[in-house]
Amino acid sequence: MKKHNFSAGPCVLPQEVLLKASEAVMDFNGSGLSLIEISHRSKDFVEVMEKARSLALELLGLENKGYQALFLQGGASTQFLMTAYNLLETKAGYLNTGTWSSKAIKEAQFFGEVVEVGSSKDGNFNYVPKDYTVPEGLDYLHLTSNNTIFGTQIKQFPKTDAPLVCDMSSDIFSRQLDFSQFDLIYAGAQKNMGPAGATLVVIKEDILGKVSRQIPSMLDYQVHISKDSMFNTPPVFAVYTSMLTLEWLKNLGGISAIEEINEKKAQLVYSEIDLNPMFKGFANKEDRSTMNATFNLVDEKLKDTFDTMVKEAGINGINGHRSVGGYRASMYNALSLESVGVLVDVMSELERKG
Ligand code: PMP
């Protein structure tokens, strides 16, 4: 039986994408060769890379606006340092909204002064700071749009003259935004795109080339751009599968269509959390993420009972991160409304059992 997969990432992918990807592993485009045994310089794979890059820009509404899309390696964690390596000359601002922002700050400190413009550490990151000011003269301001572990999401992005850099690892392609307000967006593939191994970086080209330091080739965005995201052997399987997911999303109607479904899923689970006296939500209501819903049992003694019920319903991956405890239902693009319905039924069944 296929499970209801609420895993935080790597996570659920569309069934048709998994099918096509597995077919390509056996026989790519009827070539008699596997996708993962052909040259990345072959015409067939170069087309895949180009398609993945252009679909990413198209879905974000960033075509012909001076942006480049790259599929790099090293995960979003490498972007913590690569953004700073390429953009931080003297001083950068960071909004600290959780574990991942804190890690980004740590890496940036190797390259220059880091100003923490705001932090929600005092509330164990259960909210998104709002009353902060952005100092003048920043090389960039770094934000994390969705805090995967704590279940908060930035709803309103700051208006600032500083270039905006955003880690969108856990909510890219999930909601409509004016993506042109960002100068650099990065996201590991393993949530809304594909398997782990590729990281999408979308860069407004004119922000590059302004730092005075020498940048090693593999960490230099300009090198990757000049080589059409093929400076070295790209993660071919991850890029191909990401391309399939982006195609799936486009055929579904793009970000506006998936946003509607994502909102329904989030409403369903949050209204259960709010109405069911057995549970309490972790994140501040106004900052709640549509991707990761974090909640706890009011009575921890019911944990074993609830966990057994969850398992029997075929639900996978709702254990909370150790820094929050409780539960986290991750509802990425490919998770169906039906799966959320199954979880909500189990939650209300717990209430009935008392
Ligand atoms: N940023 C965010 C928001 C994340 O959720 C994660 C991973 N879950 C990362 C960064 C780190 O990504 P990676 O494991 O690809 O380095």
Domains of the chain, residue spans:
16-252, 255-353
Q: Which amino acid is at 25?
A: V
pLDDT in tens, 255-307: 999 999 999 999 999 999 999 999 999 999 999 999 999 999 999 999 999 99
Average pLDDT over residues 11-38: 97
Nearest CA to ligand 1 atom 4: 169
Q: Which residues line ligand 1 (CB under 6 A)?
A: 9, 75-77, 100, 144, 148, 167, 169-170, 188
Average pLDDT over residues 203-214: 98
Atom of ligand 1 nearest to the CA of 168: 3
pLDDT in tens, 75-116: 999 999 999 999 999 999 999 999 999 999 999 999 999 999
Asked if residue 52 has pLDDT above 80, the reply is yes
Mean pLDDT of the chain, nearest integer: 97
pLDDT at position 191 is 97
Beta carbons within 8 Å of 259's beta carbon, 6+ residues apart: 174, 175, 176
Q: Return the SS3 of 137.
A: coil
Confidence of residue 354 (pLDDT cuts 50, 70, 90): confident
Sequential DSSP letters for 87-123: H-SSEEEEEE-SHHHHHHHHHHTTTSEEEEEEE-GGG
Q: What kind of architecture, by CATH, is found in domain 255-353?
A: Alpha-Beta Complex (3.90)
Strands 292-297 and 279-281 turn out to be antiparallel
Residue among 80, 96, 99, 148 whose CB has most ligand 1 atoms within 8 A, to mutate: 148
Q: How many CA atoms lie within 13 A of 246 on its CB side?
A: 23
Q: In angstroms, rounded to a whole number, what is the distance separating the alpha carbons of residues 221 and 251?
A: 30
Output the six-digit token pair for 70. 């790259």
Confidence of residue 195 (pLDDT cuts 50, 70, 90): very high
Residue among 169, 174, 201, 294 whose CB has most ligand 1 atoms within 8 A, to mutate: 169
Strands 91-96 and 113-119 turn out to be parallel
Sequential DSSP letters for 146-168: EETTTTEE-SSPPP-SSPEEEE-
41 is in an annotated binding site: yes
CATH 3.40.980.10 fits 16-252, yes or no: no
Atom of ligand 1 nearest to the CA of 196: 15
Nearest CA to ligand 1 atom 2: 169
pLDDT in tens, 327-352: 999 999 999 999 999 999 999 999 99
> What strand order describes the sheet that includes 91-96?
67-72, 199-204, 184-188, 164-167, 141-144, 91-96, 113-119
8 Å CB contact between 91 and 139:
yes
Asked if residue 139 has pLDDT above 80, the reply is yes
- Of 149, 159, 154, which Cα lies nearest the Cα of 102? 149
Average pLDDT over residues 220-224: 98
pTM: 0.98
pLDDT at position 1 is 77
8 Å CB contact between 86 and 112:
no
Looking at the DSSP bridge assignments, the partners of residue 320 are none
- Of 327, 352, 330, which Cα lies nearest the Cα of 340? 330
Asked if residue 182 has pLDDT above 80, the reply is yes
pLDDT at position 2 is 87
8 Å CB contact between 140 and 93:
yes
pLDDT at position 334 is 98
Average pLDDT over residues 28-37: 97
ipTM given for this complex: 0.99
Atom of ligand 1 nearest to the CA of 147: 3
pLDDT at position 196 is 98
Domains 16-252 and 255-353 share a fold: no
Average pLDDT over residues 189-195: 97
pLDDT at position 289 is 98
Asked if residue 29 has pLDDT above 80, the reply is yes
Confidence of residue 32 (pLDDT cuts 50, 70, 90): very high
- Of 217, 212, 192, which Cα lies nearest the Cα of 82? 217
